[in-house]
Amino acid sequence: MTLVLIDDASPAQLVPRVPEGEARLEKRLRDLIHDYPAVLPIHDLDPSYGTMITVAKELNIPGVGFIDVVLMDELGRLVVVECKLWRNPQARREVVGQILDYARELARYGYEDLQRQVSIATKRQGNVPYELARNAGGALSEGEFVDRVARDLAAGRFLLLVVGDGIAEGTRRIGEYLRDQPGLAFDFGLIEIAEYRFTDGAGREHLIVQPRILARTAVIERHVIRNEAPGVIIASAEAEDAGSSSPRPPSEFGQKWRRFVEKFVAETRFDDPAQPAPRYGGNGWMKIPLSQGLYVNAYRSGGTQRIGVSVSFRGSEGELAWEELNIERDAIDAEFVDAGLPAPMWTHDNVPHISLTLEAPTPWSDADDADHRLWLGRVSNQFVNSLRPRLLRLESANS
């Protein structure tokens, strides 16, 4: 790809991309992400993440190596970033294995281990991760924050990002390898940062970087299989046994969200009498089974100050379902409008998804909670009404 710089005072200038493997970007890219974490399209990977905060650069994981950059949001949800220039296929294979080694070792950490290593990397004493989150506007108490991060560490629940100057197709075929990582519950994303360099009329060199998502996975975690009419639903096992996996009680934030979900389940009525009930998915989100392994995901994010409902279409079967639904896009949009809702957004990045969001400024009162449950229920019901019959029809045609 070539960029075109347009300036009314001078002719347009073509800026070719620096060929992959030739970019002088690895340390520069690490420093760029450290200084400006918003350069990464993390909210495109998972809209439930809040404001990105830099925790540390070159975080030492003894016996494994140094993580290029560790980020988190104000709730302490960790993002592990590994930067790599793709000069050869061996480097591509090694970096995926390296970031998984980091994840496995971090999953052995308690919060005090993470706090210690962050203090070493930042040369700051005290509970540095919590102080960073609080300074960024985090509302959790110190105990709630520590509890939240400790639970994610124990579950191996991280967002793992491999960032490079050019990621070949072969590197993207890693789904089976990722699913072979027992005991971890991570998201994985591949992000390409294209580099462009040019010299202006005064002889000064300039650098432009362009991020884009090349691939991502669903959360990798343990599953159970349930029999729910009219078909089989594959669901996360975490919600089933989270209480027995740790002796610590849920944090205040987690307790509030569980109460929110419980009220949502009690209050929400679907027009489809065969629709399975919503279920808790994790802090800030819940899931509503559809068909063919697809879910309606309803979420609320204090970081982005939005609530939303979406369906992601992952894998080859998801792509097929997306294509079939896209044929009826006008009819589906019209059904939403007829129900008094805006037409949903249809987005095809690397994982296609259909979504509808609403601004929800914090802080949230009890009245806001009630309004949010009402809106999420109404929109979720319309997603079920519009998508579930079509997905069941497609499933029947393919069986």
52: helix, strand or coil: coil
For residue 87 the two structure tokens come to 């000069």
Calpha distance 261→281 (Å, rounded)? 9
For residue 40 the two structure tokens come to 């990464």
Q: What is the mean pLDDT of each run of 10 residues along the chain (399 residues)?
A: 73 71 66 90 81 94 92 94 68 73 90 92 92 91 92 88 67 48 68 78 77 53 32 36 44 83 92 85 88 88 90 86 93 94 90 93 93 96 92 79
Calpha distance 325→387 (Å, rounded)? 8
DSSP letter for 350, please: S
For residue 350 the two structure tokens come to 């690397």
> Contact 292/398 with Cβ under 8 angstroms?
no
Give Rg (Cα) of the chain: 22
Q: Count Cβ neighbours within 10 Å for each residue of 306-320 and write b for 16 or more, e otherwise.
A: bbbbbbbbbeeebee
For residue 129 the two structure tokens come to 């991760």
Closest alpha carbon to 71 in 52, 98, 88, 93: 52
pLDDT of residue 361: 93
**Count of other CB atoms within 10 angstroms of residue 261:** 19
Q: H-helix or E-strand containing 212?
A: strand 205-216
Closest alpha carbon to 289 in 347, 232, 221: 232
pLDDT of residue 283: 82
One-letter amino acid for residue 284 of the chain: G
Report H helices in the chain: 26-35, 42-45, 89-106, 111-122, 128-135, 142-155, 169-172, 175-179, 238-245, 252-267, 315-327, 329-338, 366-398
